Structure formats: C-alpha cells, structure tokens
C-alpha cells in the first residue's frame, strides 16, 4: 500500500503507476484534481487500485486528513512518497518573502507534514516500510539562480539522511531521490502557486538551463522502485551528476588538506 504526493503529474504519477503495477493499492494526493483523476483512470485501466485525495501538502491539517483517509482506505501504509514540489528561479538577492514561503511550504514543510502525519502509524504497524523523499540534484549541488529551491532541497537531503538512521530500528527504509532533468511540468510550477503567495509585481525569471539529459519520469520511477527494494538511501538518477559531486567534495577535501600543509 502506497501514498504518493504530487501524484497528479510527472514523477509522482509515474511513481504511483509503478507502485500499482507491482500490485500495491495507491493513494495519490495533489492540489490538481483533474490530474489526480487522470492518474487514477490510468491505474484502473491497467487493473490497479487507486484513490485520489485532494491535498495541499503545505497545509498540515490537510496532510493529517490525507493520512486518515489513506489508513482507513488501505488499512496499512507501507510506502510513503513525499514527492510534491515546486521550482522557482531567480537570484537570492531578489527573492521575495512569498517566494520563500511558497517554496519552503511545499518542498520542505510538505515533507515534514508527511512524516508527522504518517510515521507514527507506520511505526505502530510494526512491519517495516519505506519513505521516499523527492529532493533533487539541487539538494546536493548549488546553482546560481536556484537559491531558494536549493535551500529547500538541501534541507530535504539532510532530513532524509538523518531519517534513515532514526528509522532503522523500525525497519523503515528511507530513499532520497536526487534527479537532474526529468521530462515533467516542473518548469511550469507557478501554475499551482496560491494567489496569496504570488508576488504583487510578477517578474518572470527564465528557468536555469539544465545540464545533462532529461529522463522520462517512468525511468526515474523504476530507479526509485529498485531503491526501495534494495533499501538504498540515495537515488542519483543521472550519471552526469558524478563530476559536479566530485568537484564539490574535492573542494571540501582541499579546505582540510590545504590547512595541513
Ligand atoms: N522534473 C525535474 O527535472 C526534477 C528534477 C529534480 C527534482 N524534481 C522534483 O520532483 C518532484 C516532482 O516534480 P515533477 O518534476 O514531477 O513536476 P510536476 O510539476 O510535473 O509535478 C509536481 C506535482 O506536485 C504538485 N504540487 C505542487 N504544489 C503542491 C502542493 N502544495 N500540494 C500538493 N501537490 C502539489 C503539482 O500539482 C504537480 O502535480 C518535485 O519535488 C520536484 O522538485 C524534479
């Protein structure tokens, strides 16, 4: 039994379809009700079981209500995918308070709300499970023009690394998904920005050009499912990530080694 937030589109939809194809009943949550209905239709067309629950993950009460619905519908939840996310581009020096509130509200608080609502009951089930948190390569490598998003995703990586240690005694595994480009609607994330968090003067910032290949969401979902089965913490989807990661750690290494000379 699985729960996937951000299940109306992109990686979340592919994750929900992947879990359903493995035989799990799936609850999909999102603010996009039409997209949710489409996900459910696609899963049911292949003989799977799915339930849509409209949920804004930045709202704690709504995520609690999602957990109540999921546990009453599924009985048990074994896989929780905190995947809903939004992206925002622009320099930190020009970021508005609303940019921070919206991005951290969905990308970081959305994950925290998922843990608060689901973990106590998953632990009480006493039969293990798995949590997948969707971060990004932007949670491991900083890019100019992505600072607000970087902040949210670095937090999700740190949280997930600790969570894996904390949940080990309960046999609940943790994976953190860190993709580069994936062919989804993330570049149009503003479509879901609530009116109250829109900037008064809309300044349109062009998305930062992504390096590396752009993978299909289904390819990424297959990697996540494999990581769940193997209980792998990191799901680093793109080979192209290797060089920037090495450069980052070499710079850290140099900070220590240079002092020793
Ligand atoms: N596509 C990429 O290149 C890429 C790369 C790295 C990480 N990611 C991450 O992958 C995750 C999924 O994004 P995607 O690429 O599939 O994009 P997407 O825009 O296709 O899907 C994101 C989904 O999240 C939903 N969502 C937005 N705000 C929400 C809220 N407040 N509550 C509930 N649902 C909400 C959207 O309605 C949408 O269905 C995100 O966390 C994103 O940051 C994407």
Nearest CA to ligand 1 atom 32: 56
User: What spacing in Å lies between the alpha carbon of 185 and ligand 1's midpoint?
Assistant: 8
Residue-level pLDDT, tens digit, the chain, 261 residues: 999 999 999 999 999 999 999 999 999 999 999 999 999 999 999 999 999 999 999 999 999 999 999 999 999 999 999 999 999 999 999 999 999 999 999 999 999 999 999 999 999 999 999 999 999 999 999 999 999 999 999 999 999 999 999 999 999 999 999 999 999 999 999 999 999 999 987 666 777 666 778 999 999 999 999 999 999 999 999 999 999 999 999 999 999 999 987
The reported pLDDT for the residue numbered 203 is: 65
The reported pLDDT for the residue numbered 204 is: 65
User: What spacing in Å lies between the alpha carbon of 1 and ligand 1's midpoint?
Assistant: 21
Instruction: Reply yes or no on whether 149 is catalytic.
Output: yes
* Overall pTM > 0.75: yes
Query: Which of 3, 5, 10, 209 best tests ligand 1's pocket when mutated (most atoms within 8 Å of CB)?
Result: 10
DSSP states of the chain: -EEEETTTSHHHHHHHHHHHHTT--EEEEES-HHHHHHHHHHHHHTT--EEEEE--TT-HHHHHHHHHHHHHHHS---EEEE-------S-GGG--HHHHHHHHHHHTHHHHHHHHHHHHHHHHHTS-EEEEEE--GGGTS--TT-HHHHHHHHHHHHHHHHHHHHHGGGTEEEEEEE-S-BSSSGGGGGGG--GGGS-SS----PPPPPPS--B-HHHHHHHHHHHHHHT-SEEE--GGGHHHHHHHHHHHHHHHHHHH-
Beta carbon of 84 within 6 Å of any ligand 1 atom? yes
The reported pLDDT for the residue numbered 100 is: 98
């Amino acid at each position: 039994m699985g729960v996937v937030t951000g299940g109306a589109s992109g990686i979340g939809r592919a994750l929900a379809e992947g879990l359903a194809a493995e035989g799990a009943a799936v609850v999909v949550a999102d603010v996009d009700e039409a997209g949710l209905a489409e996900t459910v239709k696609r899963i049911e067309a292949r003989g799977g079981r799915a339930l849509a629950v409209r949920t804004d993950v930045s709202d704690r009460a709504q995520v609690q209500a999602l957990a109540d619905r999921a546990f009453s519908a599924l009985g048990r939840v074994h896989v929780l995918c905190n995947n809903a996310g939004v992206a925002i581009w622009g320099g930190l020096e020009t970021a508005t308070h609303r940019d921070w509130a919206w991005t951290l509200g969905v990308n970081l608080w959305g994950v925290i709300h998922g843990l608060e609502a689901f973990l106590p009951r998953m632990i009480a089930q006493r039969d293990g499970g798995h949590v997948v948190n969707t971060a990004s390569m932007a949670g491991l490598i900083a890019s100019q023009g992505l600072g607000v998003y970087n902040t949210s995703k670095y937090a999700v990586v740190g949280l997930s690394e600790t969570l894996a240690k904390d949940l080990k005694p309960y046999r609940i595994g943790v994976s953190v998904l860190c993709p580069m480009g994936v062919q989804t609607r993330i570049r149009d994330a503003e479509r879901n920005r609530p009116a109250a968090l829109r900037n008064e003067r809309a300044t349109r910032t062009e998305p930062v050009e992504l390096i590396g290949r752009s993978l299909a969401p289904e390819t990424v979902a297959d990697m996540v499912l494999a990581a769940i089965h193997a209980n792998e913490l990191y799901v680093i989807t793109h080979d192209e990530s290797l060089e920037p990661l090495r450069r980052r750690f070499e710079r850290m290494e140099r900070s220590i080694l240079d002092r020793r000379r």
